[in-house]
């Protein structure tokens, strides 16, 4: 097993009597919160789910509803590893839906990037603002 970006790699093996494994990339068993949005002007499909596995070629995840096959989707995943051990990251990917069922979908990744997670930044800012306002209250009451 290898460790890449804080993830442990596993090989998907063929089950006897099962379908052949056509994947060309390794999958990582990542179970993290995910937001998805179908990027189509006539569609307002979006929701949340959990990743089941991620590889360099695609993402398998749970959905709130069946996603339209062939549509472009934006995914945003809370990444389990942190930048410099302290800054939360999110994995943002654009891809096409290649498999879709009532509560699960697979997206082939066309491009991706890592971004710092804004919610963590907002939380830190809120804590700083709260601490500062508490100090101001304490000073005013003296």
Q: Which helix (H) or strand (E) holds 82?
A: strand 72-83
Average pLDDT, the chain: 78
Region label for 17, one of left (φ > 0), alpha (ψ between -120 and 50) or beta (otherwise): left
- What's the pLDDT at 15? 38
Tens of pLDDT, residue by residue over 11-23, are: 444 434 444 455 5
The residue ranges of every structural domain in the chain are 3-117
- Region 25-31: what's the mean pLDDT? 86
Q: Is the pLDDT of residue 28 over 70?
A: yes
What contacts 118, CB < 8 A, 6 or more positions away? Answer: none
Q: Is the pLDDT of residue 132 over 60?
A: no
pTM: 0.67
Please tell me the CATH superfamily of domain 3-117, with its number: predicted glycosyltransferase like domains (2.40.10.220)
Tens of pLDDT, residue by residue over 63-120, are: 999 999 999 999 999 998 889 998 999 999 999 999 999 999 999 999 999 999 875 4
């Amino acid at each position: 097993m290898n460790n890449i970006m804080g993830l442990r790699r596993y090989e998907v093996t063929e089950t006897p009597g099962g379908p052949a494994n056509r994947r060309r990339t390794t999958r990582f068993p990542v179970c993290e919160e995910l937001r998805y949005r179908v990027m189509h002007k006539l569609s307002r499909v979006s929701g949340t789910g959990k990743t089941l596995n991620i590889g360099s070629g695609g993402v398998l995840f749970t959905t709130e509803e069946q996603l339209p096959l062939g549509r472009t989707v934006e995914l945003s995943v809370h990444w389990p590893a942190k930048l410099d051990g302290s800054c939360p990251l999110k994995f943002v990917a654009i891809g096409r839906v290649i498999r879709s069922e009532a509560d699960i979908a697979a997206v082939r990744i066309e491009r991706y990037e890592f971004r710092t997670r804004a919610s963590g930044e907002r939380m830190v800012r809120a804590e700083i603002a709260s601490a500062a306002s508490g100090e101001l209250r304490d000073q005013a009451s003296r």
